[in-house]
Structure 1
Amino acid sequence: MHAGGGTDEATVGATVGVATALDDLKSRGSALLIVGSVPQDVYGRVSACLLGENGDEDRRRLVVKRGPEADSRFDRIESWTPEWTRIFSYDVDARSATDAAGATGAGSSFDPDGPDAPSSPTAPSPIESDAGPFDAYSRRQGPEDVTVTIRGSIAELGVEIGTAIREFDAVAGGLDPAELRVALDCVAPLLSEYDRRTVFRFLHVLANDIRSVGGMGHVRVPEPLESEIVRLLAPLFDAVVELRLDGREPQQRWHLRDADLSSEWLPIESRA
């Protein structure tokens, strides 16, 4: 990573340290937290870069997003078969409507310690979707053909993500470091439906699932770095990527947890 800026010894040392730490994250698997109150298109540019460019033909990608809206990140993806790309559209509103229709006086929030909780975060659980099993996807070239709409609970969403990661690993015969790229964009709606403890546990399992196959994942929380929710979730991640607009210029700054280092503010086009 090129950090730019001054050339004094401290700056050069920090730049080298950040670049080394990022190389380490790629080699051993990592989970990144993307924060900052910026427009969707700014986050989309960063996310597209982290998911890999068109030339990165060896990348396998899993994107978990809210709703069926068009997504410019997909313009950079060319491999539209399920062994390379999967998109989960998490329908929080539909899940809420289903919960409300079936309520019997209890609250609609999922209680991870309640009687209906799954025995483990990765235990099989039924889930409603618009497509069949992994090998039943169409082979046509387009994001709509590898998209599944998920209407289950947060626990069931976690099961689906964990299953997809294991299937990618099996199809690849063992994933190479940083071959799998994962993006999760629906933390904000999850926080509107579930308590923070439940979302924390969900993200903890997600981050470990990604690391277990040497993947690189990123999770968006559109809140400032100093916000309470970011401070709560940051320890789950290997790095926090902070986004801002400097006038009209979108910028990013990386904070590496284990290395205890931060980059300077960089243009969004800089790649890790």
Structure 2
Amino acid sequence: MKHASRGSNASGSRQTEKSFTDTLMGLKRRGCCVLVTGQVDERVRAAQSRRLFGERETSRQRVLTLTDATSDLDAQYLPESITPAHSSVTTLNYTGVVRDIASTADPTAELPPTAASSEPSDSMGNLGDLLYDSIKETIRAGQTVPGELRLGIATLCVLLDTDGLSATEAFVRALRADVLAVGGMAHFHLPCSPGSETLAALDPLIDIHIELRESNGSVEHRWRLSETDHVTDWLPLQR
């Protein structure tokens, strides 16, 4: 993956690229959380998920959680030749439940404060609690070996709208603890043009930030590693 230039000499560029690659590989070994942003077509987001869910030849436990994604597109989030019915895949489709919760939510209700603890029950909203409990049980039931779990959430937008920023932060924090405990990788789609406050709240919980864009008919992605602040160039995303 090509790194954005930080210097004029080729040697420095090679060292930077090696450092980026080494950091990325370390995150994959230890476990990490990825935030995917950008107002792009859902099929573009699905293409990014396919990469993050891992190659079909690799043993994975893939958990795809749908909140406001298009249910008919669930297969497009998964690697080629891996269908929603595959033994490595668990799809948690909460789109209908989310619509019901969102339609009855009181926009004037006071949102819970952000809790310092990762214990979810004291800090999440109703939707976050529901999603977290289901995902947690799925992870535990899968008896995941280290490095095998790949979790995708499509998307966080409805959680922000329904439960608020503090509750969404608590949801991501709790999932991060569970995912890192088994050396897994979680990615969270946030395509709804997040403001600086949202990004600042989630940034300490995110190891990799992937931005997506569509430019002149092509689709591109750019990666930033929080640990080192390495940023790649805008690169073509294969769909």
TM-score normalised by structure 1 residue count: 0.72
Cα 1:87/1:15, change in 2 over 3 Å: same
Distance in 1 (CA, whole Å) between partners of 2:159 and 2:194 is 19
Instruction: Indicate if the aligned counterparts of 2:223 and 2:232 stay in contact, CA closer than 8 A.
Output: yes
Q: Determine which of 126, 139, 144 is the counterpart of 1:165.
A: 139
- The residue that corresponds to 1:228 in the other structure is 197
Partner residue in 2 for 1:142? none
Structural mapping, 1:198-213, within 5 Å: 198-213=167-182
Identity of aligned residues (%): 25
Inter-CA distance 54–78: structure 2 relative to 1 (3 Å threshold): farther
Residue 4 of structure 1: CA displacement? 8.8
Q: Give me the whole-angstrom Cα distance separating, in 2, the residues matched to 1:110 and 1:17.
A: 42
Asked whether the 8 Å contact 1:122–1:159 carries over to 2, the reply is no
C-alpha deviation, 1:122, in angstroms? 6.8
Distance 1:249 1:4, change over 3 A: farther
Q: 1:70 to 1:79 in 2, by over 3 A?
A: closer
Match for residue 80 of structure 1?
85
| CA separation of 1:245 and 1:93: change in aligned 2, threshold 3 A | same
Q: What is the one-letter code of the residue matched to 1:66?
A: T
1:155, distance to aligned residue in structure 2 (A): 0.9
Distance 1:110 1:89, change over 3 A: farther
Q: Give secondary structure in 2 for the equivalent of 1:153.
A: helix
In the alignment, is the contact (CA less than 8 A) between 1:122 and 1:162 conserved in 2? no
SS in 2 for 1:254: strand
Aligned pair 1:247/2:221, yes or no?
Answer: no
- Does the CA-based 8 Å contact 2:2-2:233 persist in structure 1? no
Distance change >3 Å, CA 92–CA 242, structure 1 → 2: same
State the structure with more CA Rg.
1
Aligned length: 225
CA apart distance, 1:248: 1.6
5+ residue gaps in structure 2? none
- Residue 130 of structure 1 aligns with which residue? none
Which of residues 94, 98, 122 is equivalent to 1:92? Answer: 98
| Per-residue deviation, 1:231 | 2.8
Structure 1 outlier segments of 4+, above 6 Å: 4-7
Question: In structure 1, how many angstroms separate the alpha carbons of the residues matched to 2:98 and 2:204?
Answer: 26
Deviates more, 1:16-25 or 1:86-95: 86-95
2:52 paired with 1:50: yes
How big is the shift at 1:7?
Answer: 7.4
Structure 1 residue 258: Cα displacement: 1.1
Deviations along 1:123-170, whole A, 9 cap, x unmatched?
A: 9xxxxxxxxxxxxxxxxxxxxxxxxxxxx63212111111111222x2
Q: Secondary structure at the match of 1:218?
A: strand
Cα distance change on mapping 1:244 and 1:85 into 2, 3 Å: same
Give the conservation status (yes or no) of the 8 Å contact 2:51–2:79.
no
Q: Which runs of 5+ in 1 are unaligned?
A: 114-118, 124-151
Taking a change above 3 Å as real, the CA distance of residues 225 and 255 of structure 1, as seen in their structure-2 partners, is farther
Q: Given that residues 223 and 230 in structure 1 are in contact (C-alpha distance below 8 angstroms), is that contact kept between their aligned partners in structure 2? A: no
The answer on 1:261 being equivalent to 2:235 is no
